[in-house]
Amino acid sequence: MNITSGKMNKAKKVVIYGVEGIGKSSFAAMFPNPLFSDVEGSTTELDVQRFDKPTSLEMLMQQIAYVRDKKPCQTYVIDTFDWAEKLCIQAVCAEKNVSGIEDVGYGKGYSYVYEKEGKILNALDELIAVGINVVLTAHSAIRKFEQPDEMGAYDRWELKLINSPKCNCCGMVKEWADMLLFANYKTVSVATDDKGKKCKAQGGIRTMFTSHHPCWDAKNRQGMPPEVPFDYSSIAQFFNVQTPPPIQQAPPVQQPVQQQATAVKQATPTVQQTPPTTTPLPASDVPDVPDVPDMTGFVDIPTEIKIPENIPQSLKDLMNQSKVSEEEIRFVVSQKGYFPEDTPITNYPPEFISGCLVAAWQAVFGMIQENRKVPF
């Protein structure tokens, strides 16, 4: 058993949600060396590093795995997570071969979405384990809330995620986060007449709320004030941690004994050695060198991928990302007995592409990798 005590300096899990247009993406771009998975497509005006826009859940999971293995950044950002939830719904519909999540069955479809989002959070935990901060941005929504011990209901801000008794994705993300920050415009109501019946809103200052309130969800573990300006400088101290410089050791002191040993060694006469003479072996004794195998019958990874324009975008993105050609997919499909090898992908049914190729891309790509470097 290993018991530790005290604070631990580790990467942080941050969720930033707020109304549209308040600057969530710009705020996330201020984190140390960020890399975006721009699911929403809202970073086009920002000078940041970004992956290609993920068009499927499988593509998003591959991007997370790439960050875990290659460590190309200090902060990984999914912008926005409610749009990533749409990819989860899309994946469930493709796997169950239905047109909408409600068609899966009463409550079952949302349970599958809950599992998909849980797998995303588990994959993000692996980034935390290797020291990469994770930032999730999300939109906010106003929902009715009723206290179990009070009469009546009131409006409050929440994450714009599925929030139902059987699929509380909203609650799962809030539990996962170390910092849950809510951004909104702070306005005040000012009376315009003597009786106070007519009022107008003033202010509109961008504010970030860091602790729980009856009207919104927020939390932090750093003891931040309940309200701070919506600026990265308000939380920069928790991420710009300076690592202590390495301790330089003093060079070892030369001892007189070593100097004497060196002097004796220098005084010892050196014996010149004659290089050994090599006698060529007879031709009969020369060992046979094995011939280099002929690799002309083997399949190499294609350097240039030519993908027809009318292939669905979700499959096209996975093919580009994994460097897979149309011929390789057609060969795998023919191996499984679905369609003849000469059948173009454009002739595949849409439900086959989404349910068997995109949704099961890991298995498809695994077969393609086995077929590579195999003689035909």
Helices 108-129 and 57-70: crossing angle in degrees, nearest 10, is 10
Tens-digit pLDDT profile for residues 121-173? 999 999 999 999 999 999 999 988 877 766 667 788 999 998 887 788 999 99
Q: How confident is the model at residue 182 (pLDDT cuts 50, 70, 90)?
A: very high
Contact 92, 104 (CB under 8 A): yes
Torsion region of 95: left, alpha or beta (phi above 0 gives left; psi -120 to 50 gives alpha): alpha
CA 122 to chain CA centroid, nearest Å: 11
Structural domain spans, the chain: 13-238, 313-371
Residue that the structure tokens 């679905």 belong to? 338
Instruction: Look at 74-78, 85-89, 203-207, 232-236 and tell me which has the smallest mean pLDDT.
Output: 203-207
Q: What is the DSSP string of 311-330?
A: S-HHHHHHHHHHT--HHHHH
Task: Give 77's strand partners.
Answer: 36, 135
Q: Where are the alpha helices (DSSP H) in the chain?
A: 24-28, 57-70, 81-96, 108-129, 169-176, 256-267, 313-322, 326-335, 350-352, 361-371
Torsion region of 78: left, alpha or beta (phi above 0 gives left; psi -120 to 50 gives alpha): beta
Helices 108-129 and 81-96: crossing angle in degrees, nearest 10, is 130
Please identify, in words, the CATH class of the domain defined by 13-238. alpha beta
Tally Cβ neighbours within 10 Å of residue 134.
26
Q: Residue 243: what pLDDT?
A: 39
